[in-house]
Amino acid sequence: MTTLTPIRDGVVDELRAILGDEGVLTGKAARYNRTRVPAPFPVHRWAEYVPDLVVLPRTAEQVSEVVKLANRERIPVVPRAGGTGLNDGALPLKRGIVVDIKRMNQIKEVDLVDRTVTVGPGINMLKLNEELRRHGVMYPDDPASYPCSLVGGRIGTSGWSLIGGRYGHTRDLVISFQMVLPTGEIIEVGDGGGRKIRKSSTGFQLKHLFMGHQGTLGIVTEATLELVPRPEMEFAAFFHYPSFVAAWESTGALTKSGLASLGGVVLFDEHKLRYLRRDDEAYIPRPDHVRAVVATAMYGTRDEVEPAARRIMRIGRESGGTYLGDEISSGDWASRHDRYATPLHGRLRTGEVVPMSWHCEDASINYSQLPAVMEKWHAIADRYITTTGILDDWGMFCYTNGAYKPWGDYLVEIDIGIWEQKLSDANWPDWVACKREIAQVALDHGGSITACHGATREGDAELVPVEMGGGFDVMMKIKAALDPNNIMNPGKYELDRAYGLDEKVFR
């Protein structure tokens, strides 16, 4: 607690005047604990990314004052919400001030007439829904990190929801929000004017511009969100198949059913099944002929879901699936969030169990390309497992990715275990090369590097200009225009190029 920030005393005093003494943290522990997120991190170089200080604002005005001060002093500003990202958007690459918005977690208005809830960006969805339950409504943004991620981070990354097939993803569920721009102005951003208007064609569609920018274009300070009726019924059905291809074909049939209550479909590949058999205590043992699994989940009124469930069971069976039973279907689905985070340990080729961190690629890939991408990704992983000796392949999931129309493309995830304790300057470049090859496969197959995490990590970031093409020039122009001093989360997305800087993320 005693080591103070490298930022000069006068600036710290000004920050204390803005935020109060308890809103400015200069201690080492405060700074080290706001350096990393769950994404694999070069732990041996932790000290190089530690922010200079941390502020804990309570109001948009405080955030605005901090950003203005940072512009004047040319100090980088990095927004941090839950710090649960699987990308490193909240990692302060160039130190500076971390703006931690967890104290902005108030529910400001529940409007049951126009069906909105207005919140501070520091609120968590589970906590929000605990409060909304009494009104019979919910905010259905449901990522793997549902118990811990915060609304501000969901906007900053343009998140994906497990039940987005029915309810939409973060961009469909956030109606409008208040932003502090990189130069400190506070603006309202929506589809159009009014805070509660869902659809407008007045002017540019700024809402999309200010989602998924990973904190490079400002800081959200308030958000107005969609409310939907709490579903009367939830139905989950899991099917198993003798091969990945059989499961993939069935996935196509299930997702094209046109059933509006279909929240999501998840395809587990053969590597995933092998991993679950090998190392997941929660895996319910199945015979060897169970090679791939498809999970479906439906939400809605009883009048919708009951007949739709009969239909989905029929499609699942007619397309080659065998029902895995009620215990696995309802039990596994109910514990999905906890199961995302289960692979906390992995195995070396020797079979030795070691603590491993979870790396999750999350490309967007069209349905037609899934088998080819799967094959290439596993081949890449296999090669790097051999050469680095610190990785493990935990298999793949493919999740429906389109809002309301869950058939065309998929969030495709390969889960790779990485033994962070063994990271060094010698093997970090191998890890980055592995990621880059995985991302390149996504592009080669007409996909996108990332469906929801963002692509600011080294290995992904270099390919953002490739994926965006001419759009990347537009990104750079927007960045330079809105953030003339490159204050907001500098070093991310190769956007330093907009300022004539060409620095690698993790050198």
Shortest Å, Cβ 301 to other proteins: 26
Three-state SS sequence of 418-466: ECHHHCCCCCHHHHHHHHHHHHHHHHHCCCECCCCCCCCCCCCHHHHHH
Which residue, 53 or 442, has its beta carbon nearer to other proteins? Answer: 53
Which residue, 301 or 421, has its beta carbon nearer to other proteins? Answer: 421
**Strands 137-138 and 116-119, bridge-based pairing:** unpaired
Shortest Å, Cβ 91 to other proteins: 12
Rounded-to-integer distance, Cα 167 and Cα 105, Å: 23
Q: Which of 122, 156, 168, 182 binds other proteins (CB under 8 A)?
A: 122
Site string for other proteins, 32-51 (x = CB under 8 A): xxx-xxx----xx-xx--x-
Q: Give the footprint of other proteins on residues 389-418 (CB under 8 A).
A: none
Please tell me whether residue 273 binds other proteins under the rule CB under 8 A.
Answer: no
Q: Which of 18, 25, 267, 438 binds other proteins (CB under 8 A)?
A: 25
Chain centre distance of CA 216: 16
Token pair 């980088």: residue: 76
Please tell me whether residue 343 binds other proteins under the rule CB under 8 A.
Answer: yes
Q: Give the footprint of other proteins on residues 168-207 (CB under 8 A).
A: none
Which residue, 236 or 356, has its beta carbon nearer to other proteins? Answer: 356
Count of residues in the chain: 507
Q: Which of 333, 358, 367, 472 binds other proteins (CB under 8 A)?
A: 358
Cβ neighbors of 129 (< 8 A, separation 6 or more) are 138, 139
Rounded-to-integer distance, Cα 295 and Cα 342, Å: 18
Q: Which of 342, 366, 440, 485 binds other proteins (CB under 8 A)?
A: 342
Which residue, 34 or 492, has its beta carbon nearer to other proteins? Answer: 34
Rounded-to-integer distance, Cα 150 and Cα 221, Å: 12
Which residue, 45 or 445, has its beta carbon nearer to other proteins? Answer: 45
Shortest Å, Cβ 332 to other proteins: 11
Please tell me whether residue 279 binds other proteins under the rule CB under 8 A.
Answer: yes
Token pair 């587990």: residue: 268
3-state percent breakdown (helix, strand, coil) of the chain, nearest 5: 40, 20, 40
Q: Which of these, 303, 301, 311, lies nearest to 259 by C-alpha position?
A: 311
Q: Which of 14, 115, 147, 428 binds other proteins (CB under 8 A)?
A: 147
Q: Which of 205, 387, 421, 424 binds other proteins (CB under 8 A)?
A: 421
Which residue, 205 or 421, has its beta carbon nearer to other proteins? Answer: 421
Which residue, 347 or 497, has its beta carbon nearer to other proteins? Answer: 347
Size of the site for other proteins (CB under 8 A): 55
Are 293 and 332 in contact by the 8 Å Cβ rule? The answer is: no
Q: Which of 14, 172, 280, 462 binds other proteins (CB under 8 A)?
A: 280
Q: Give the footprint of other proteins on residues 78-97 (CB under 8 A).
A: 82-84
Which residue, 48 or 303, has its beta carbon nearer to other proteins? Answer: 48
Amino acid in the structure at residue 374 = M
Are 87 and 455 in contact by the 8 Å Cβ rule? The answer is: yes
Which residue, 63 or 148, has its beta carbon nearer to other proteins? Answer: 148
- Across 301-336, b (16+ Cβ under 10 Å) vs e yields eeebbeebbebbbebbeebbbeebeeebbbebbeeb
Are 280 and 341 in contact by the 8 Å Cβ rule? The answer is: no
Are 166 and 258 in contact by the 8 Å Cβ rule? The answer is: no
Please tell me whether residue 263 binds other proteins under the rule CB under 8 A.
Answer: no
Q: Which of 12, 110, 126, 443 binds other proteins (CB under 8 A)?
A: 126
Please tell me whether residue 301 binds other proteins under the rule CB under 8 A.
Answer: no
Q: CA–CA distance from 244 to each of 9, 425, 430 (Å)? A: 61, 37, 29
Shortest Å, Cβ 355 to other proteins: 4
Please tell me whether residue 327 binds other proteins under the rule CB under 8 A.
Answer: no
Taking contact as CB under 8 A, which single stretch among the options 220-228, 311-319, 331-339, 398-406 is the one that binds other proteins?
Answer: 331-339
Element (H, E) at 36: none
Cβ neighbors of 179 (< 8 A, separation 6 or more) are 186, 187, 188, 189, 210, 217, 218, 219, 220, 221
Are 145 and 155 in contact by the 8 Å Cβ rule? The answer is: no
Please tell me whether residue 152 binds other proteins under the rule CB under 8 A.
Answer: no
Shortest Å, Cβ 315 to other proteins: 31
Q: Which of 338, 444, 473, 503 binds other proteins (CB under 8 A)?
A: 338
Q: Which residues are near other proteins by CB under 8 A?
A: 1-3, 25, 27-30, 32-34, 36-38, 43-44, 46-47, 50, 56, 82-84, 100, 102-103, 105, 122, 124, 126-127, 145, 147-148, 279-282, 335, 337-345, 353, 355-358, 420-421
